[in-house]
Every structure is written in structure tokens, then in C-alpha cells.
Structure 1
Amino acid sequence: MTDDASPELRASDADRERVAEVLRDAVAEGRLDMEEFEERLEAAYSARTYGELAPLTRDLPAAGAATPPPPVSFTKEPARSGSWAGRIVGGEGSSSGAVAIMSGFQRKGRWTVPKRFNCFAFWGGGEIDLREADFADREVEINCVAVMGGVQVVVPPGVEVVVRGIGIMGGFDHPRDDGPSEPGAPRVIIGGLAFWGGVGVERKVTRAEQKRLKEQRRQERLERRESRHELLRERREQRERRRGY
């Protein structure tokens, strides 16, 4: 972590892995004993912020492994490649609005979000799920009016979210664990009015992505376990060679 990185910034999986790599090099070079290495490695993988990662490599030659993410740009970049390249489809959108009066509505699955989507909930509720949606433009606006009702907006990771709604005896929630947007991802502006009601915004991955991430974490645990075993073998071999001398 660099000295000018804000300690309260959230650390990513890549940041934690870079710190872990520095620790593995340090134990292989004899700078850390096995007990200290395991303590620091466990702390690295459980760290949430740069402030928690920084002390783990501060006294090692390669300290600074955790670097802050690039600043968020307010100018949307065109999609180059990847998952967002085919999801900005243009057109008018497959649904322009929704109404729930003492009832409910849902917009989820594969649908196209228009440039402006208007919804109204009175004594009712609605769900707007953007995880599998396409987008008519790189910037879309969702206008929510909730009167003694509620609307829940679900966005996938990587999408930039701007919340501009007004709450009167109600409120607009911002997504938790918000991070920088991905290149080419759309910007979603959520505005409107909540009167004795609420509009919530949360980030979730799809079930398929959850399954993929679970399998990825399992593989990473196996690799870390194998790496620890390999380090232990190397240390034993080093001790045996010293005894032989």
C-alpha cells in the first residue's frame, strides 16, 4: 500500500492476493518464520480495507503490494470488450414503466432498460432487477415515486449508480460496498420521491455468478493450502540440508 492511499478504502481480492504473494516470498527468503507467516496470511485474506493490509508488508522489502484502485471517472468510457460490450443495445427498451397500487410489479430477467423508466408504487411494492438486463443507452434513469410503498432496485457489480431521490418521511438507500465502475458498464441514475415509503438499491450477482465465485474461492483455498504445504516442504528440506552440513 502506498503512503498516500486512503486507509479506509475497501480492499479488493486482487489487493489481498498481492499482499499474500509478498508474504510467500518473505517466508521463502527466511524473513518470516512459519508461525508469523500464517498469522499474517490469515489477516491478509480477512482484511477489508487498505488500512488493515498495510501493516502486513510494511517491514518487508516489497511493501506496497496493495495499491489503491484508480479514481472513478465521471465520463463513461466506451465498451472495449468483456461482458458489457453486448449489453448496450440501443433502441427504446422493452418496458417504459410500471405501476403498483395496492399490488406489486416486477421487472427482472432478460429485458431492455429504456433511457428513462418511470415507476409508481402506492400502498404496494415493486422490484426492478438489472442483473440480466440489457440497456438502451450507456446512461439510463430510473424515476421512482413511492407513496406509502416501496421499490427495490437490484444492480450487478460494476454498474455505476447515482442516487438523486428525495425522501419525505421516507428515504432512498445507496448500495453498500460501492466500488469503481467497470469500463464500458452503464451508469444508472435513480431519482424520484419517497413519501412515507422507500426506495432501496443493492448490489447482487446472478445465481450463475454466485456459483462461479463459490467455485473460484474453493479453488483458491486449495491453491493456498497446496502453497502452504509446499513452503513447509521447502523449510523441512532446508533444515535437513543444514543438519547434513
Structure 2
Amino acid sequence: MVGVLQKAIGHGLLSLDEFTARTDVALAARTRAELNTVLVDLPGLVHPESGVAPVKPVEFRATMSALKREGEWVVPRDMVIRSQMGSTVLDFSDAVISFPEIRIEVDVAAGSVELLMPERSSVDASAVTVELGSKTDKASGSRAGGPHFVVTGSVRAGSLTIRRPTYVRIGSLTIRRPWRISWDA
């Protein structure tokens, strides 16, 4: 159990204080229901049983700062992105996605949010409202075989960009934008 919580810290899902508090509760737990209270907001870890409280969305907050998730990070089913005069970039292209549908609520005020979608995914961002800002959606539509992202919320004097990475292959060299270079063996 402690190992699961340590992985959650590594993926940025828990703070050190949350880890300490949850570890204490997990070590004292006697039933699966008591363990579920520790794991309820961590994706894919709650044992399905009746009476489990609804999962609270994971919140990403950038207030006059920058927040970035990339690589193999664990994607929660529900998330809220708050960007007040800040910058948030969530790269889902290599992320661990365990759910068929991911719900993202954006709350942008004079900030920017960029969502980099995986190749095999579908996106619906039609419910996002924009006031004195911009929404650039180059990834909407359906691509079979992957998760479906539902983006809602509002952008006020800021920007929301939703796109997919672009790739250029030159022989065994693959260049990806945002910039990542790899060689085929």
C-alpha cells in the first residue's frame, strides 16, 4: 500500500503532506473500505464496492507560475485545471490512461492551457466558453482505439490550445514537436 502511495507522489498526484497522512491511515486500516478512503481519488485503485464516495477531481493549479506534466504520468479520470495568470501544459501523448473517458474542466483567467492529445483519441471541447480569449482546437473529432476526452469550463482573457504532436521521420530518426528526438534501433 505504501508503495502505491509512493508512486502517486512520483506522478505528482499527492503532496508530501498528503502522502504522510494517507500512509498513517493506510497502516491503521483494517478493511478494504478503510483503504478505499486513502485511494479514492487515485485513478484505478479503488476496489469496486457499494457505498464508495464519488471521486473528487484532481486539481492542477498554476497561479502566476508554470505547471507541466509529460512523459509517463498517470492520468486521473476527472481533473480541474485552474490557470490564473499562469501556464499549464498537459502532454497526454505518453501518459498512462486507464479510463475510456477523461473529463477535464478548465478555469483559465489571463493564463494559458495547452493539452497535447494522444494519437488514438477523440476530443469534445464544444462546451468550453471563451470571453476575451481564445480556444484553438486542432484535435477534436474521433480517432478509433483510444480514450475520449471531454473538455468543459471557461477561458477568460486567456487561451486554451488542444492539439496533437506532429512527427517528422528522416530514415531512422524521428523528430516530434514539441521537441523530442528518437532513433529507431
TM-score range, shorter chain: 0.5 to 0.7
| Residues 112-143 of structure 1: per-residue CA shift (max 9 Å, x gap) | 11111111111111101001111231000111
Question: Which of the numbers 164, 171, 185 marks the counterpart of 1:203?
Answer: 164
Structure number having the greater strand percentage: 2
Q: What letter is aligned with 1:124?
A: G
Structure 2 length normalisation: TM-score? 0.58
Q: CA deviation at 1:216?
A: 7.5
Q: Provide the C-alpha distance between the structure 2 equivalents of 1:102 and 1:188, rounded to a whole number of angstroms.
A: 26
Question: What is the percentage of aligned positions where both structures have the same residue?
Answer: 20
Runs (4+) of structure 1 exceeding 3 A deviation are 89-93, 213-217
- Secondary structure at the aligned position of 2:144 is classed as coil
Confirm or deny that 1:105 pairs with 2:61: no
- Secondary structure at the aligned position of 1:132 is classed as coil
- Secondary structure at the aligned position of 2:171 is classed as helix
Confirm or deny that 1:123 pairs with 2:88: no
Change (3 A) 1:124 1:181: same
Question: Which of the numbers 175, 181, 184 marks the counterpart of 2:138?
Answer: 175
Q: What letter is aligned with 1:159?
A: S
Change (3 A) 1:91 1:170: farther
Q: Provide the C-alpha distance between the structure 1 equivalents of 2:45 and 2:164, rounded to a whole number of angstroms.
A: 25
Q: CA deviation at 1:97?
A: 2.1
Contact 2:123–2:141 at 8 Å: present in 1 too?
A: no
Q: Provide the C-alpha distance between the structure 2 equivalents of 1:215 and 1:90, rounded to a whole number of angstroms.
A: 39
> 1:145 aligns to what?
107
Contact 1:173–1:199 at 8 Å: present in 2 too?
A: yes
Q: Provide the C-alpha distance between the structure 2 equivalents of 1:182 and 1:172, rounded to a whole number of angstroms.
A: 24
Contact 1:91–1:136 at 8 Å: present in 2 too?
A: no
Q: CA deviation at 1:99?
A: 0.8
Equivalent runs, 1:35-46 vs 2, <5 Å: none
Structure number having the greater helix percentage: 1
How many aligned residue pairs are there?
A: 122
| Residues 15-57 of structure 1: per-residue CA shift (max 9 Å, x gap) | xxxxxxxxxxxxxxxxxxxxxxxxxxxxxxxxxxxxxxxxxxx
Q: What letter is aligned with 1:120?
A: R
| Residues 161-212 of structure 1: per-residue CA shift (max 9 Å, x gap) | 1112110111322115x564122x100111111000111101115xxxx47x
Q: Provide the C-alpha distance between the structure 2 equivalents of 1:165 and 1:108, rounded to a whole number of angstroms.
A: 23
Q: Provide the C-alpha distance between the structure 2 equivalents of 1:146 and 1:174, rounded to a whole number of angstroms.
A: 16
> 2:98 aligns to what?
136
Structure 1 length normalisation: TM-score? 0.45
Q: What letter is aligned with 2:68?
A: Q
> 2:28 aligns to what?
none
Change (3 A) 1:179 1:195: closer
Change (3 A) 1:96 1:130: same
Change (3 A) 1:214 1:114: same
Change (3 A) 1:186 1:214: farther
